[in-house]
């Protein structure tokens, strides 16, 4: 019986090229995280030893530099504002001035976030005013916990710092960065302020962490202005946008009170954490209809807050002309490629996904 000849493996330069690209991308990503980590550690350590005038000078210089270098982001923000608030800002000069204020507010928020790492609880309480605390106390008195509904508006990082400094049990749901070491550093900084971190992934663990915090009558912050292709489509600034269903699902499942919370800045630069009254949930007798209706209701509260403080919201993720934000499209494309590669390696025919 003749022996079968072993097939020689053919050299595939394309595969080697793809592997080289992946390694280069991984190395570059690792380098970016390390630079970010050491810069963050350095700023946190040096900030309390630096004079306020020097810190303000450095912040202003960094703001101007990034404003010039990151031109494409400024243009995208101006375009999104023109689509969403054309009536309020009809002229290009108005939109350009608004983007400049957004940039300034972001710089101030970053500086405040670094400052609070060395601030005492009394200093945080005195620096961030609190309005509507009676709504929070009334909700906690019911003993079913609180879902804090918020957005990337104002200095949202100060919401947990302010309430934790006042003695409230506070947790936040976050999407960790890809680098575990950098993620642990950020979690440690939150823990120093008395903020508990609940990772958004995997979802099963996230749900357990949220339910545990709510059953302990704590506050769980959910930032709900991230648009995803798998979200529920609702109206947002006159556009159909996919919004996460998680906050509405949690509120319906747990019975926890949902309170809108936003930490925004006034004309003098002072921060105020405003807590709104409980959002009364809609009941239409059907689970899916309830989730959809309350997701739309929550989104209305977010839109109202952005309309009130348009210079304190990140306009980069706005859903424009029926298209997903660029980062969401890239994530969806990566999922498609991963699915197709897995199908081709197993010999099955890949599923045809809808176009992005």
If you search the block for the tokens 């993720």, which residue do you land on? 317
* Span 205-255, pLDDT tens digits: 999 999 999 999 999 999 999 877 678 999 999 888 888 899 999 999 999
Distance, in Å, from the CA atom of 236 to the CA atom of 319, rounded to the nearest integer, reads 8
Domain boundaries, the chain: 27-111, 125-314
If you search the block for the tokens 């400024």, which residue do you land on? 74
Mode of pairing for the β-strands spanning 271-275 and 257-265 = antiparallel
pLDDT value at residue 38: 93
The tokens of 156 are what?
A: 């949202």
DSSP 255: -
Q: Is 266 helix (H, G, I), strand (E, B) or coil?
A: coil
pLDDT value at residue 231: 81
pTM of this prediction exceeds 0.85: no
The strand pairing partners of 144, in sequence order, are none
pLDDT value at residue 156: 95
Q: Which long-range contacts (CB under 8 A, 24 or more apart) does 252-256 make?
A: 252/281, 252/287, 252/290, 252/291, 252/294, 254/144, 254/145, 254/147, 254/211, 254/214, 254/215, 255/144, 256/144, 256/145, 256/146, 256/147, 256/214, 256/220
- Angle at which helices 92-115 and 52-69 cross, to 10°: 140
Alpha helices (H) along 51-195: 52-69, 71-84, 92-115, 121-127, 133-141, 157-165, 180-192
In the predicted model, residues of the chain with pLDDT beneath 50 are 322, 348-356
- Angle at which helices 157-165 and 92-115 cross, to 10°: 40
The tokens of 202 are what?
A: 């995997």
CA angle, 46 as apex, 40 and 48 as ends, to 5°? Answer: 115
pLDDT value at residue 4: 58
pLDDT value at residue 349: 44
């Amino acid at each position: 019986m003749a022996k079968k000849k072993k097939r020689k493996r053919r050299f595939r330069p394309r595969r080697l090229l793809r592997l080289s690209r992946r390694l280069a991308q991984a190395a570059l990503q690792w380098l970016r995280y390390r630079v970010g980590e050491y810069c963050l550690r350095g700023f946190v350590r040096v900030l309390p030893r630096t004079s306020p005038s020097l810190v303000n000078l450095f912040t202003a210089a960094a703001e101007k530099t990034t404003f010039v270098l990151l031109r494409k982001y400024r243009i995208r923000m101006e375009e999104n504002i023109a689509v969403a608030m054309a009536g309020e800002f009809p002229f290009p000069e108005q939109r350009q001035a608004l983007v400049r204020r957004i940039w300034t507010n972001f710089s101030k928020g970053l500086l405040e976030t670094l400052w609070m790492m060395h601030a005492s609880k009394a200093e945080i309480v005195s620096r961030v005013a609190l309005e509507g605390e009676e709504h929070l106390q009334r909700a906690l008195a019911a003993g079913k916990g609180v879902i804090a509904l918020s957005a990337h508006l104002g200095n949202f990082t100060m919401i947990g710092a302010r309430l934790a400094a006042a003695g409230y049990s506070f947790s936040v749901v976050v999407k960790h960065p890809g680098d575990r070491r950098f993620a642990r550093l950020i979690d440690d900084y939150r823990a120093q302020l008395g903020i508990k971190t609940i990772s958004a992934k995997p979802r099963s663990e996230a749900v357990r962490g949220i339910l545990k915090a709510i059953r302990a009558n704590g506050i769980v912050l959910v930032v709900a202005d991230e648009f995803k292709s798998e979200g529920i489509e609702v109206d947002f600034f006159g556009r159909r946008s996919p919004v996460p269903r998680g906050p509405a699902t949690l509120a319906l499942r747990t019975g926890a009170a949902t309170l809108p919370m936003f930490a925004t800045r006034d004309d003098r630069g002072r921060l105020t954490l405003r807590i709104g009254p409980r959002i009364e949930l809609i009941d239409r007798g059907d689970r899916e209809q309830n989730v959809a209706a309350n997701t739309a209701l929550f989104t209305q509260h977010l839109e109202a807050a952005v309309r009130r403080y348009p210079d304190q919201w990140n306009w980069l993720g706005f859903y424009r002309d029926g298209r997903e934000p660029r980062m969401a499209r890239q994530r969806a494309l990566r999922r498609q490629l991963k699915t197709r590669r897995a199908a081709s390696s197993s010999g099955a025919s890949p599923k045809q996904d809808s176009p992005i």
